[in-house]
Structure 1
């Protein structure tokens, strides 16, 4: 039981910040106090400016609502250091996040205790970030945060989606997870119209709108969101087909092309196949070059033509 009131209120505030909604009974159990004590502590938090709302329902509950000013967050040492390091290296694939991350980092460092500031400074001094000019698709932060909130709250959300063929269609889904892979962000969700799981690229999503309707969380097929998304991406239709039969074991090739692990299939102890199919001819060339062993290739004519052109260009560049 937490008898020290300041410590108990800090613990209460920390709980409210970790979940969308708590029932009064759950909070009382976590704090080891009565429901009446929880209600008094909630009133004290409100007096301090924290926008704690009461919720309706069978048992009622509480949630920390958004206010005009963000109240102080409670972070333990590991959380504070993790956020500082994440801000230091943030913004991959997100539009306009570099400057925003630096502003947030400056604010956080001002309030860090000296013992933590030293840890963060040491990490920053020892870390160098190589920034590449991104030519790939970028995601709007507002889209990312809206979808993240819907995943957290198991709330049905609608949005407009641009397909691979540039068609536009509205979607209504039960969001489950956000997955980042290869510089792209994906939403894994259960499509209510198709009654099936679907994967959506965030850079093709616009106008996300929460519906206010919450549903029970669904279990992702196989139980592993990352593995499910990886397998679907690997089997998605692509523009250029390229299947290599490689004179090396599957384990050897997996170590060289870890990003294509699901596309490598063993034939025997010394031979495997690698599906290097892709929408971009240059990426097929890069994948095959990484194999670094002999192989035969079954591919579309465009792939063969591109490889011949690349090989001739290389020979020309290396000729005496």
Structure 2
């Protein structure tokens, strides 16, 4: 009976996770025969869950509309995954610490005793690593507004700060008309939040740092989303030197010109560095570290010619490294 109940819960969880399943897929995921699957579907219907049969080759199932579903149904793996996700939530968002704690407490309260014990055994403490390259925190209200605009397909109107400057308030010197863009994706990469959007004025794709966005109200008109592949998203964030990054808060910050295209360096440069195109085959990289030798080492990993190195302390670090290498040889 316990095994059957667990399987029924797993079946309901699968039906909620996808619009439609084939019978063969469901039976395979549950590890049961087609006959057992049909019996379990019948059990769900007797319990009041609206499971519709889908006609077609092999047949299938989906949850119908109008039925009363429980507010939360999670199988064992999902419950543990949510508990871990809550404990390791990005620390770059302000205003959610208390909500995360309350959500975890609520989740554990409704778990069965055995699952609650598993969740509590996975009590995680997150510590910041020096290479996390922490960015300015983001207000949760901004994330809600941006996410809502993406979901509802409404043009997002916002003020946007340039690197190193605050967003001017209306009436302040330097105040500019807000940006109007069609928001498509929120992306987290290297500890920073980015918005991929299509600029309405210039009709081009742009990447904006979310921590510099100050949304305006009301929202703009509705728009029709344009298709973006995973490669498009990677190109617009990971390989994009114009993603609005600024140097991390390091005690040493140096620069050098590399004989590589900007998009290549942007792809492999650590978060918290700045890449600026010089020409199609060269770019300037600004990077920080806890020592000048550390910066020199990071620059050397690109395995290319380096020019215009600065400041002088970084040049001295390269000289010292050269002497050390000679001694080793």
Q: Which residue of 2 aligns with 1:307?
A: 314
Please name the residue that 1:84 is paired with: 83
Aligned-partner Cα distance in 1 for 2:302–2:230: 34
Decide whether the 8 Å contact of 1:281 with 1:306 is kept in 2: no
User: Cα–Cα, structure 1 residues 82 and 237, in superposed 2: closer, same or farther, change >3 Å?
Assistant: closer
Residues 161 and 206 in structure 1, CA contact (< 8 A), matched pair in contact too: yes
Shift of 1:165: 6.5
Q: Tell me which of 122, 126, 129 is aligned to 1:129.
A: 126
Task: For residue 186 of structure 1, report the CA deviation from its aligned partner.
Answer: 0.6
**TM-score, normalised by the number of residues in structure 2:** 0.57
| Map of 2:190 onto structure 1 | 182
Partners of 2:46 and 2:216 in 1: CA distance: 41
Tell me the residue number matched to 1:18. Answer: none
From 4, 8, 15, the equivalent of 2:49 is 8
Partner-residue secondary structure (3-state), 1:232? coil
Judged with a 3 Å threshold, the aligned counterparts in structure 2 of structure 1 residues 146 and 79 are, in CA distance, closer, same or farther, namely: farther
Among 204, 207, 220, the alignment partner of 2:215 is 207
The equivalent of 2:102 in structure 1 is 103
Q: CA deviation at 1:185?
A: 0.7
In 2: Cα distance, 1:75 partner to 1:208 partner: 37
Does the 8 A contact of 1:276 with 1:284 survive in 2?
A: no
Unaligned runs of 5+ in 2: 1-37, 53-60, 166-173, 248-253, 276-280, 322-329
| Cα displacement (A) at 1:218 | 1.1
1:172 to 174, 180, 188: 180
CA separation in 1, counterparts of 2:100 and 2:214? 23
Report the secondary structure of 2:219's partner residue. Answer: strand
How far off its partner does 1:309 sit? 5.7
CA spacing shift, 1:110–1:274, aligned 2, 3 Å: farther
Return the alpha-carbon distance in structure 1 between the equivalents of residues 139 and 208 of structure 2.
14
In structure 2, distance between residues paired with 1:132 and 1:281: 13
Deviation at 1:197, TM superposition (A): 0.8
Count residues with an aligned counterpart. 242
Deviations 1:36-79 (A, max 9, x none): xx45x4xx68xxxxxxxxxxxxxxxxxxxxxxxxx933444433
Once the two structures are overlaid, the 10-residue window that deviates more, 206-215 or 285-294, is 285-294
- Over 3 Å counting, the alpha-carbon distance change for 1:217 and 1:75 in structure 2 is farther
Whole-Å Cα distance in 2 between the matches of residues 143 and 238 of structure 1?
20
- Indicate how the Cα distance of structure 1 residues 168 and 192 shifts in structure 2: closer, same or farther if over 3 A, else same: same
> Which ranges in structure 1 are unaligned for 5 or more consecutive residues?
13-28, 33-37, 46-70, 247-253, 264-272, 315-320
1:298 paired to 2:325:
no
Question: Which secondary structure does the structure 2 equivalent of 1:277 belong to?
Answer: strand
Query: What is the alpha-carbon root mean square deviation over aligned residues?
Result: 4.4
1:148 matched residue in structure 2: 147
CA shift, 1:289, in A, is 1.3
Three-state SS of the structure 2 residue aligned to 1:145 is helix
